[in-house]
Amino acid sequence: MDWRKHERLFVSIFFFILVFLLPTLSSGQGQEKLSTKDIQEVVDLLEDSQKRETFVKDLKNLKQLKEATVKEGEEKKIKPPDKEREVLFIENLFVKFESLSGKVMEAATSTFSLVTKTPEAFREVKSFLSRSENLFKLIKLFGDIAGGIIIAFIISLFLRKPILKINDRMTTLTSKVTLGLLKVVLTLVPYGVLLASLFILFKILPSFPMGHSLSLLFFTILFFYRAALEVFRVLLSPDEARIRLLPFSDEYANYGWVWVLRFVNYTAFYALVTWTLLVVNVSSPAQYFIRGILLLLFPFMISVFIMQVARGISMKHGDLQKETEDIKTGSNKIISYVVRYWHPLVIAYCWIIFLFLMPFTANIS
């Protein structure tokens, strides 16, 4: 027998047996001492390879059985019974609702406190501007803004004729796409020049850092506002059907343009209010509350838009049914049901998505 080859295994088994026998060895004085026969059995186990392998296999099986028992007990703790899980889910739901309600109330209180401090804020602003140095900085701020606007206005005068010529050349679909894109870019050039001018003028004639941030915020939102309007103007062209990119009639193009203005205007207003609150460092609860109130109008506007579209589709479908009232097929019935019931489902779906996303958007969750 090669003792060195199995030395580590023998030592491990030997220590395991010693640990296993420690309670017996350290028991009370009334118990018998370890006999020579017991020691001989241990020696025989170590020397007999077949017995040793059987012993090691039994130990491994015992270990696996112990691990399986522990794992099963942990799973029972982790996975409670179905009724208990239902109770825990409902309880967790109520806890989250209570937490959300508390945060909403805290945000509303913070917003009300902010409103009550408005007169005091006006007095502080008046006192701040009563100092000659601050008044001079305010004049410099308005001068920078006026300078940027004048530069942008001059650029727009040079671009007015090229933009008008583009409209005359928009005849085919390809020219409408390429020249429409060029028209959008040229229209936005003065607004981009305005932002660049403000960056430069604020460096040359610095005044209030807060005033710089608010001015850049306002004109950046104005830039994207004009970009959105010009893109939709190319697509719908409510004033001139000849250059319209989408194949809509004048009625539908003007109707779509009205809703584009509503959504774009309100989105710009929402962005201006929320980012201004962030720049002036209003308390977080008040920001979240105001943002949530403003967000409520988006699904409301979408709902009104969907209802108006549904009414138009219903009227068109009613006229079509009058023309084909003698033809009654299964497909016609299905179409009638879809036309009648699609908009409540879509509106409900929009509100569910909004209510689900609102806590994450407003950071109230």
pTM, entire model: 0.65
pLDDT reported for residue 208: 86
**In this structure, is the dihedral angle defined by the CA atoms of residues 303, 308, 313 and 317, taken in order, positive or negative?**
positive
CA–CA separation, 342 and 307 (whole Å): 10
Residue-level pLDDT at 34:
54
pLDDT digits (tens, 9 = 90+) for 238-270: 888 888 888 888 888 898 999 999 999 999 999
pLDDT band at 2 (very low <50, low <70, confident <90, very high): very low
pLDDT for the residue numbered 58: 74
Please count the other Cβ atoms lying within 10 Å of the Cβ belonging to residue 362: 21
Q: pLDDT averaged over the chain?
A: 76
The predicted model gives 21-37 an average pLDDT of 49
pLDDT tens track for 120-175: 767 777 777 778 888 888 899 999 999 999 999 999 999 998 888 888 888 888 88
pLDDT level of residue 74 (50, 70, 90 thresholds): low
pLDDT band at 20 (very low <50, low <70, confident <90, very high): very low
Examine the pLDDT at 28 and tell me if it is beyond 90: no
Confidence tier at 35 by pLDDT (50, 70, 90): low
Give Cα 96 to chain centroid, integer Å.
19
DSSP string, 264-307: HHHHHHHHHHHHHHHHTT--HHHHHHHHHHHHTHHHHHHHHHHH
Nearest to 270 by CA among 354, 362, 350: 362
Residue with the bigger pLDDT between 297 and 283: it is: 297
Output the pLDDT for position 361: 56
Domain boundaries, the chain: 130-261
8 Å CB contact between 233 and 295: no
